Structure 1
Amino acid sequence: MQQYVVLQVTLKEKFIGTGSGNLTELEGVINAQAAKGYRLHTITTASAASKGFMGGDRIQATLVFELI
Structure 2
Amino acid sequence: GPGFPPEFLPQAFDRFTRADEARGGGSAGLGLALVDAVARAHGGSARARNHSGGGATVAIVLPSGEDG
Pairwise same-fold verdict (TM > 0.5): no
More helix by share: 2
Q: In proportion to residue count, which structure has more strand?
A: 1
TM category (shorter chain) comes to 0.3 to 0.5
